[in-house]
Amino acid sequence: MASLLQSERVLYLVQGEKKVRAPLSQLYFCRYCSELRSLECVSHESCL
């Protein structure tokens, strides 16, 4: 039962400038290309 609350057990591979493995709770959708991105990839994209 405790394994249901462990979101780090399933990791997604995100390919960008670097290959990053992260849980879904730490990934974001890019508004320009509609792909999953890690926090490192979306930190330079800001809306003004």
pLDDT at 29: 83
Supply the pLDDT for residue 17: 75
The string of pLDDT tens digits covering residues 20-44 is 888 888 888 877 778 888 877 666 5
Q: DSSP of 16-42, one letter per residue?
A: SSSEEEE-GGG-EE-TTT--EE-HHHH
Other CB atoms closer than 10 Å to residue 43's CB: what's the count?
10
Q: Which residues pair with 37 in a beta bridge?
A: 28
Q: Which residue has the higher pLDDT, 47 or 24?
A: 24
> Quick one: pLDDT at residue 37?
83
Beta-ladder partners of 32? none
Global pTM value: 0.60
Judging by beta carbons within 10 Å of its beta carbon (0-12, 13-18, 19+), is residue 37 exposed, middle or buried?
buried
Is the model's pLDDT at 45 over the cut of 70? no
Write out the two tokens for 5.
């609350």
